[in-house]
Amino acid sequence: MAVAGHTERRTAEEPGNDRRRPSRKGRAPRRGARRPGEARTAYLLIAPAVLLLALVVGYPVLKAVYQSFLTDPGLDRATGMFDSGGNWFGLHNYTHWLLQRCATPEGGWTSCPSGALGSQFWGSVGVTVGFTVVACTLETVIGMVFALTMHRAFRGRAMVRVAILVPWAIPTAVTSKLWQVMFDPQGVVNKLLGTHYAWTSSLWPARSAIVVADTWKTTPFIALLILAGLQNIPAETYEAARIDGAGAWRRFTNVTLPLVKPALAVAVVFRALDTLRMYDLPKILTGGSNGTTTSSVLVVNQLTRGANSASALSTITFVLIFVIAFGLVRLLNANLFGAPAKAVS
C-alpha cells in the first residue's frame, strides 16, 4: 500500500504529466471579476456625463449658495445713494428669513412687519408641509384602491387603466386652469354640492381646492408604482393564504402590504419630494393668496425684489426638503437605489 502510494506521488510529479494543476496565469477569470483596465475605462466613459452635470447642476447651485451671502441692489440707507449690491453680507440674509428680521432706516434690525415677505417664511413652511401630509395621505390611500382595481382581471381592465392614468398625463398648468374653472362660484363643483363657495377667495376653501386638484392630478402616479409592486407578488402566495383560511382583509394586511411595501415607500418618498416643491398649482389656481403661499411661491416672489436674498431662501428650502426626505427614507426604510439586501447568516 505504501509503495503504491509512493508510486502515485512520483507519477504526479514527473515532467510532462497531464494531471499537473494549471498555473494561476492560465486560469479562467472568475465570474464577475474585474479585468485589468475596466475601472479606468468606466471612469473615462462616465466622465463626460459627470462633467456635464457639474456644469449644468453643480455650478448654479454653488453660485446660488455664494450669492446668498451677498447684499441685494437697492438704496443705501446710510448714504441715500443707490447701491449696486454684491457686498459681503454674512448670515444676514439667513437671519432675515429664519428670525424674520428686517432692516430699519437707521441701519439696524427689527421684526418684519405683518405682510412683508420676511414675515411669511415660517407660514409658507407650515402650508407646504400641511399640503404634503394631507395630499400624500389621500393619494396613497386612493392610489392603493386604484392599484388593486387595476390589478384584478376583469373585462374592460385596459380601459379602466387608461382612464385612471389620464389625469397624470395632463400638464399641471392645464390641470390648474381646469380646476380654476370648476371651482368658480358658478362652476361645476358648487353645482354638484349645492353650495355657493368662492373656493379661491378664502382660507380653507382655497387650501381644500389645492389639495383636491393635486390629489386628482398625481394619485395615478402612486397607483402606477403600487401596481408594479403588486404584479411582482406570486399568485401562489395568495392561494396559500386562502387555503390557510385567511380572508380578504387578512390577505391584504398580511400578504399584500408587506410585499408591496418597497414600491409603496418609493412612491410616497417621491410624491413627498414633489409636493414639497409645489409651485405651479397654487400659483395658477389661487395666486398664492389666502394662505396658500408655499415655499417655492415665496422664493419666486422674492426674486423680483432681490436675487441674493432669494438665493438664501432657496438654500434654506433645499435643506428643509433634504431633511424631511432623509427622515422619510429612514422611517419607511425605502430602498431607493436598489442596494442588495444583506444575507442572513
The whole model's pTM is what?
0.79
Note the pLDDT of residue 101. Answer: 83
| Domain contains 215 | yes
| Domain contains 56 | no
> What's the domain range around 243?
121-332
Residue 307 Cα to chain centre, angstroms: 25
Sign of CA dihedral 135, 137, 141, 143: positive
Cα distance from N-terminal residue to C-terminal residue, the chain: 44
Q: Specify the 3-state DSSP secondary structure of 261.
A: helix
| Domain contains 98 | no
Number of domains in the chain: 1
| Domain contains 176 | yes
Return the C-alpha cell found at 141: 390611500
| Domain contains 296 | yes
CA separation for the pair 205, 189 (Å, rounded): 12
| Domain contains 200 | yes
Question: What is the tens place of the pLDDT at every residue in 5-50?
Answer: 444 444 444 554 444 555 545 555 565 556 767 888 888 999 999 9
CA separation for the pair 174, 179 (Å, rounded): 9
Determine the Cα angle at 313 with ends 309 and 315, to 5°. 115
Note the pLDDT of residue 29. Answer: 55
CATH number at residue 310: 1.10.3720.10
Note the pLDDT of residue 2. Answer: 46
Alpha-carbon distance values, 86 to 66, 74, 83, 241, 308 (Å) = 10, 11, 9, 68, 8
Compute how many other C-beta atoms are within 10 angstroms of the C-beta atom of residue 213: 24
| Domain contains 44 | no
- Amino acid letter at 256? T
- In this prediction, the residues of the chain whose per-residue pLDDT falls under 50 are 1-13, 16-19, 24, 340-345
